[in-house]
Amino acid sequence: MNLKIKHEQLNDSHYLVLNGEIDIYTAPKLKEVLIPLSEEKRKDIIIDLQQIDFMDNTGLGIFIKVLKSLKKNDSTLKLRGLTDHVHRLFDVSGLTEVMDIGKKPEFFPQKV
């Protein structure tokens, strides 16, 4: 499957909507988008994952890398709209304890 990424910047936040699968094949595309955003100072990243059908450990690794980079740059990461499968993956790995994760979607700009 493929991964589609929609991105909109509004004020000090980057809003992304992901659609498809995050796995070893699609992870490089996600990393290419997220890492540069995470290196910006005081810019938050809010990601809607409600349209992610599948994610493996490769995706977890990217989100961990992004979180570390954001913390260095005084920014935050919010993951929203997780499906049960994706939420379970974050929960089993213990990442729900260190990441701002919610099952309910958050407001996203209309252009995204």
Quick check: 109 pLDDT over 80?
no
Every domain of the chain and the residues it spans: 3-102
- Split at pLDDT 50, 70, 90, the class of 36 is very high
Question: Over 90: is that where the pLDDT of 26 sits?
Answer: yes
Alpha helix segments (H runs only) across the chain = 27-38, 57-72, 84-92
Q: What is the pLDDT of residue 104?
A: 77
pLDDT tens-place string over residues 47-87: 999 999 999 999 999 999 999 999 999 999 999 999 999 99
> Domain spanning 3-102: which CATH class is it, in words?
alpha beta
Phi, psi at residue 60, to the nearest 5°? -60, -45
Look at residue 112 and tell me whether its pLDDT is greater than 60.
Answer: no
d(CA 16, CA 38): 13
Residue 87's nearest CA partner among 50, 44, 58 is 50
